[in-house]
């Protein structure tokens, strides 16, 4: 099955297969980290805008990504406006990601449980 979402590193555009008019523009601050995550096997599984009042203009959801402790090394160099974040409430599960404070955009992925 082909990927539903496509990312063009050169333009920063994310498109969805079957809906050529739907295009989201990822900021340049997050473009490099997203490219690294995708080249390491992650896939874009969702894109949303500020429909839920979160204050985020664009949120990109990935299938997987590094543990929080590994983000800075795995995705370096990070732009000064980009910082790692985590959320661990029970209703939505644990998620990790990167946020661009300047552009109000995020990339998020589920936290894989660490093996015991």
Closest listed residue to residue 35, CA positions, set 71, 64, 3, 75: 75
pLDDT digits (tens, 9 = 90+) for 42-80: 999 999 887 556 678 999 999 999 988 888 889 988 999
Contact 16, 10 (CB under 8 A): no
Kindly give the residue spans of alpha helices, DSSP state H, lying in the chain.
28-39, 71-74
pTM for the full predicted model: 0.84
- Does residue 92 lie in a domain region? yes
- Return the sign of the alpha-carbon dihedral for residues 72, 73, 79, 80: positive
- Does residue 115 lie in a domain region? no
- The CB density around residue 59, as the number of other CB atoms within 10 Å, is 21
Domain count for the chain:
1
Q: Domain range holding 46?
A: 5-110
- Does residue 116 lie in a domain region? no
């Amino acid at each position: 099955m082909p990927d539903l979402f496509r990312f063009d590193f050169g333009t920063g555009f994310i498109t969805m297969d079957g809906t050529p008019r739907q295009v989201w523009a990822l900021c340049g601050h997050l473009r490099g980290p997203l490219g690294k995550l995708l080249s390491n096997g992650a896939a874009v599984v969702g894109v949303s805008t500020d429909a839920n009042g979160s204050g985020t203009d664009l949120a990109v959801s990935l299938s997987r990504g590094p543990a929080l402790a590994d983000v800075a090394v795995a995705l370096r160099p990070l732009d000064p406006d980009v910082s790692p974040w985590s959320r661990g409430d029970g209703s939505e599960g644990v998620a990790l990601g990167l946020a661009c404070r300047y552009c109000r955009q995020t990339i998020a992925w589920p936290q894989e449980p660490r093996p015991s």
